[in-house]
Chains A and B, each alone.
Chain A
Amino acid sequence: MAANQTLRLQNMLNPESRVFEVDRVAAEHSTVIRTILEHFDESYLAENAIPILIDVSDDALAKVCEWVTHWKDLPKAADVVADYSKQGGTHGTANKAEETEEEGTENDVIDSPWNVVFFSGVDAKMLYEILITANYLDIKPLCNLCCEFIATIIRDKPIEEVCNILCIDMEFTITPEQGAAIRDKIIRDYYR
């Protein structure tokens, strides 16, 4: 199959969804699409769009297509699912913020000006849709970026501000005194 082949993607849960055209090499960032390409022949893919079965807007899908197209030359992740099973989960989870400091790994969100521009102007709803889409399509680097971006914007924020950012109503009742005590304890323990 030609490397410069163009693939078509369409959100089948939305009858009015646009059809997105993406270079095959860019679409291969997605483990799901790579699997599809292995199991469907070229003629079928030439006639049919690859179905996206997730409730997200076209705008979010367009952003994901924009990202994979820009980074199409980036090395592709081998096995996203395996990676999550290693690093995610609730057992023995490593803190990435800690690893970033200790191992000196790159902070992609901050280090690539293009990524900063990509995320600028993206509101909370759009950000989550991009993340959900990236997760659905198994696009590991984009998933990482979104997670890191969300973490960046909620770090060091007071509880009320975190609620604002995440568009969540506070579920627990905390008095101003309790909030101040928590804040003081965090400052004492972590900013000394």
Chain B
Amino acid sequence: MGSPSTQSHPAPLERLPLHILDYICQYVPRRSLFSLSLVSSLCCHAATPGRFSHIRLEIHNKEKLRGDLHRWSTILGRGNRFRHVRRVVVVGRMDDPYQADDLHSIIGPVVMDNDNDSDSDSDSDSDSDSDMESVDFNPGGPTLSPEHKRAQHEAWLPFAQFLGRLPGLTDLVYSCIHQVPACVLSALHQHHPKSRLHVSTFSLRSLYQESDQLHQNDIDPDEFALATSPCLYSIRTKYEPYDVYARYSFNLEALAHIVMSGCAPRLRHLRLHETLPGNSISLVEANWAPREPWKGFLRASPNPPASNSPQQSRTAPERARLETLVLSGDGDGLYHVETWACRTDFGALKRFELYCGVSVQALQTLASIAANDNFHSLQELGLTVSPFDYLETTPASLDQPASLFLQALPPLQALTLHGRFGRHTVEAALHRHGQSLRKLHLCPDSDKGEHDDVDVDAERVRAIQQRCPRLEDVRLRVRRRQGGPEEVAVYRTLGRLPRLRLATLLLDCRAPFSDPSTGDAERVRKTLVNLAIDEKLARAIFREISMPANTPMQRLRLETDTDHRITEACPEFQSWARWIGRSWVCTRYGTSGEVTLREIGKNKAERKYLRDELEQFEYEGTDLWSEIWPRRAEDWRDDWHSFPLSSHGVEAGMPGEKLDDEPELLLRRST
């Protein structure tokens, strides 16, 4: 737009009133504010509120927490930056001498690789989603003893006091594996009663009860305070009806009560993952016995038990108005849909995700709800289209009802499909929602031997490109074809999505079984060629996608998928495949900035393990490996490399449409 001026008078931006500059900074994503703040004092001043709006603390022990808080206090003390802090995120675990025998306390929280989380790419800089999704924890961990509580109180008190110094705090994201400390909750209630509390490790531990001691104790008072907190806004929880020791968990009943009774009046977002803890003898016995109903938080004044069945729930006087409902895990989709439709008004939902097995009836129920305009606020949908019971339902029978459900919904902004969805479902998605979609993730199951019709080829990508003009974020499974023109055409067509910023491609490296002319050895050879994805190839794929001028393309994630049945034909295949089938993230920093690549999915130790694993195969110089990659380096394991993409793509436009940028291809086709 211009060039740096050597003017003596202020640049146009610096002539703007400061409140306008502030307003511009509100539109700039946080990651870009750091660049902006280094431009000039004025920009630095304007960017300051955004730069200090989020604080993230990783919790390990009380000494580290105190040190971190001291450092933050020093930083925020300059120019009274405390007032800018709006969101505080705490992740990790506090060392706890009283809980040393708890396995989860010993190994600490399992924090997933952030690359698994597409939300971490978002502009939002919103830590809530990424932190809410990324922590594994034990929902049935032991209830705190009084000594334990005192120790926790002492460790967390400085943090509670720190919260009191943040006048603008609006959100606290709690992602530590143990219960929210009482002093933190009190500080929130006292200093920030209108703030929003997001708990990604929500569980009421005291509602785990031995089957022979049911209803003998009230809920822990601190947990009661949490469950009824006026700040509680967002919950992620894992639910198990019984734990591995066959103890009852009344968490689902309690959650239903919290949602329906309004005792946590601001609760709007619920993510519930149902797990089955195993099949110990005691657990099997517990499952066979009739389940005792929950009698409420307090023995003295039992709540009317929030029902667990749709028949009972229909009598409930009022439904909650959740905005997010994510149901996942081992449960039956139909049961989930029917029960939660009675507990919360689906008309208020902006985001609904159902990631569990479904039946035809479940999809018909959803379609019926949608047809009655009961999903009228919905913007984001996630759905697994896989049978709950494979004996009763075939995947193909779900295709039509899933498409009817999608057709009945209002235009969506984000759609994620998992499982074994078929052609009709994808067609319905593009037809009904294509014009409005900003995010489309098609994640078909990869456990099938055959390529199916949800594999993305140039034609499917072309349909997406033509019917989803607003798409910014896409995830697709793309079949590799040894880098041939058809494969390149897929990448180039993706690049023609005018707003595409984020793309994740699951590269299907299998050689098709449907080709009878392909023998086992040839199939292994083709698969290895497909799997060989090094930095050079990853960069080339990124280049193909981001070829158009002014493309907003920012980040490409490449993952590989292959077929292990091929192992019968080549025992070494698995080890080779793990060694060369690498995943990458390509990031472009700014439109003219360089592209950085990072290998993901394997750390150094895993990489070393895979290298060592290959030692069992002695290099003979006659096997498929050496046929593909003749020995050049001292160590044959380093000989492999990718094969270049074809410099031509097959026609990516409409049949017969001339492509200005591919004259050579047209020449080839005409010959």
Residues of A bordering B, CB below 8 Å: 84, 87-98, 100-102, 104, 110-111, 123-125, 127-129, 131-132, 135, 143-144, 147-148, 150-159, 161-172, 174, 182-183, 186-187, 189-192
Contacts and interface: CB of A to CB of B under 8 A. Distances in A.
A154 B4 contact: no
Contact of A104 (B20, B28, B36, B413): B413
Contact of A96 (B27, B120, B380): B27
Nearest to A92: B168
A37 B321 CA distance: 44
B84 A93 contact: yes
Most buried by B among A92, A95, A147, A152: A95
Contacts of A96: 26-27
10 contacts: A84-B23, A88-B23, A147-B24, A152-B27, A157-B591, A166-B13, A168-B14, A169-B6, A171-B40, A171-B41
Contacts of A161: 590-593
B11 interface: yes
Contacts of A135: 16-17, 20
Given A101-B122, A147-B20, A167-B13, A158 B593 contact: yes
A178 B122 CA distance: 26
B555 A151 contact: no
A115 to B, nearest CB: 14
Contact of A186 (B5, B31, B123, B413): B31
A182 B30 CA distance: 14
A96 to B, nearest CB: 4
A21 B83 CA distance: 46
A190 B122 CA distance: 9
A97 to B, nearest CB: 4
B416 interface: no
3 tightest Cβ-Cβ pairs between the two chains A and B: A101-B124, A151-B27, A190-B31
B629 interface: no
B312 interface: no
Interface string B363-378: 0000000000000000
A155 B11 contact: no
B99 interface: no
Contacts of A123: 1-2
B379 interface: yes
B126 interface: yes
Given A97-B28, A166-B39, 13 more contacts: A97-B26, A151-B24, A158-B590, A159-B38, A162-B36, A166-B13, A168-B5, A169-B5, A169-B11, A170-B4, A174-B38, A186-B34, A191-B555
B2 A156 contact: no
Contacts of A91: 49, 83-84, 167-168
A87 B524 CA distance: 60
| Secondary structure of the A contact surface, majority rule | helix
Contacts of B5: 167-169
A132 B53 contact: no
Interface string B6-22: 10000111111101101
Contact of A167 (B12, B20, B38, B123): B12
Given A89-B19, A155-B29, A168-B11, A192 B6 contact: no
Contacts of B50: 93, 95
A128 B125 contact: no
Nearest to B34: A186
A172 B122 CA distance: 29
Contacts of B590: 156-158, 161
B587 interface: yes
A97 B17 CA distance: 21
B596 interface: yes
Contacts of B14: 168
A169 B43 CA distance: 12
A190 B489 CA distance: 30
A88 B596 CA distance: 36
A88 B170 CA distance: 16
A45 B467 CA distance: 50
A70 to B, nearest CB: 22
Contact of A94 (B20, B86, B413): B86
